[in-house]
Structure 1
Amino acid sequence: MASNPSPPPRFFVLQTEMRGSHDTTFSSGLPVNTAEAPRCPACGDITGMRPWLPPYRGEVTLHGEAFGDFIEASGYDVLISERMAEAFRADGLTGFQGFHPVEVLRVRRRRKKSQPLEVPCYFAVTACFGRAALDVAHSRLRIREPVTCTECRSIRVDTIHGFTLEPGTWAGEDVFRPRGKTGSIVVSERFAAFVQRHALTNMKLIPTEKYVWDPLRLGPPTGAPEPALE
């Protein structure tokens, strides 16, 4: 009897959890040094934001009850706590690059506390650019300009109401920015389990088929298929 095929992998969009109990934000200290933005080796188009260069320093603002393990930073860089960095390496996960220590110049609090809180050590990391590619045909997109380069898969859209990745393009990274959707950090099921296992904070994981980006509230495209579960 033939064995049942294994289900396809599922993916999640990683975002900060705003207004949660560990809501924490970061602003880079001036001046902010950056390098040239990455470009596609095939078409030459810019494929991402300018990467953050040393010195890695800035101000942390605590909006919640305690400091979060994950904070958005400068450009495509994010901050992760020391405990998250150590667990990421110990568990053998892949996709984060850099791990540069961050100097916290100042801490602000939006809620007054009588007891001082210890600020975690943070590291600046960047999610790698993966080989996984947006599956345009099986995603719910309002497309402004279609794909013109088969390498970077750059595409301009007005709305996203769920998306999938093209089968066979994912190289196994646990954290990555997919071709055609470099503006989002996408993570694997293993990363989602890692977050839950270590009770890591200030993160929201949205299944890619349920991810919505619709700044002008145009609604989903008519006649578009529902994205299949990854």
Structure 2
Amino acid sequence: MKVWLPPYRVELEVHGATFGDFVEGPGDEALFSERMAETFREEGLTGLLGFHPVEVSRVRAKRKRPKSGSVPRYFVVSPCFGRGAVDEARSHLRHTKPMTCAECRYRGLDSIHGFSLEPGTWQGEDVFRPRGLQGTIIVSERFARFVTRHAFTNTKLTPTEEYVWDPGQP
């Protein structure tokens, strides 16, 4: 993926009556509302890079117009590439190719039906991309409690053992 460079401009697509605190962004980035970004930093959570302000150039409402007239400020963040590595023996992954790089552990992936990390590889980041599943954002239990405690919106967290990604199935 190409890196998103400044100026950071977005068009938001709103699917409900409120703006979300978390917005999946282009490429490997995500958007955090100002409230979520400030609270993340205040609580000392780790694993996100950037926190650059974003200019919202347009808002499109898909279902209802948002109740709030003002668009919240957003910041672009990038989850770091962590040292945590997918445990091939304890995970349920289907591959199309053999592993070619022991560091990134990339290989063709057909589907995921739950996974876990190798013991001793995770270094405690609260948000990161693991080795072996670089396209997937992993969060710690501490981050999950953070989201619940502050009632941040537009986030759906799934335990790794229940995570399913299978583009071949409807």
Under a length normalisation based on structure 2, what TM-score does the superposition of the two structures give?
A: 0.95
| Alpha-carbon distance change, 115 to 168 in structure 1, aligned in 2, over 3 angstroms | closer
| 2:123 alignment counterpart | 171
State how far apart, in whole Å, the 1-side matches of 2:75 and 2:66 are.
Answer: 28
**Sequence identity, in percent?**
63
Deviation at 1:143, TM superposition (A): 1.6
| Alpha-carbon distance change, 115 to 89 in structure 1, aligned in 2, over 3 angstroms | closer
The 3-state SS of whatever aligns with 1:195 is helix
State how far apart, in whole Å, the 1-side matches of 2:162 and 2:67 are.
Answer: 40
| 1:71 alignment counterpart | 23
Q: Name which one, 1 or 2, has greater alpha-carbon Rg.
A: 1
State how far apart, in whole Å, the 1-side matches of 2:27 and 2:137 are.
Answer: 12
The 3-state SS of whatever aligns with 2:96 is strand
> 1:92 and 2:37 equivalent?
no
- Number of aligned positions between the proteins: 170
Under a length normalisation based on structure 1, what TM-score does the superposition of the two structures give?
A: 0.71
| Alpha-carbon distance change, 119 to 155 in structure 1, aligned in 2, over 3 angstroms | same
> 1:62 and 2:6 equivalent?
no
Residue 2 of structure 2 aligns to which amino acid in structure 1? Answer: R
| Alpha-carbon distance change, 178 to 114 in structure 1, aligned in 2, over 3 angstroms | closer
| 1:140 alignment counterpart | 92
Q: Which moved more, 1:74-83 or 1:136-145?
A: 136-145
Structure 2: runs of 5+ lacking an equivalent: none
> 1:216 and 2:168 equivalent?
yes
What is the Cα-based RMSD across aligned positions, in Å?
1.5
Deviation at 1:126, TM superposition (A): 0.3
Structure 1: runs of 5+ lacking an equivalent: 1-48, 219-230
| Alpha-carbon distance change, 129 to 108 in structure 1, aligned in 2, over 3 angstroms | same
The 3-state SS of whatever aligns with 1:83 is helix
Structure 1: 4+ residue segments shifted above 6 A:
none
Residue 197 of structure 1 aligns to which amino acid in structure 2? Answer: R
| 1:200 alignment counterpart | 152
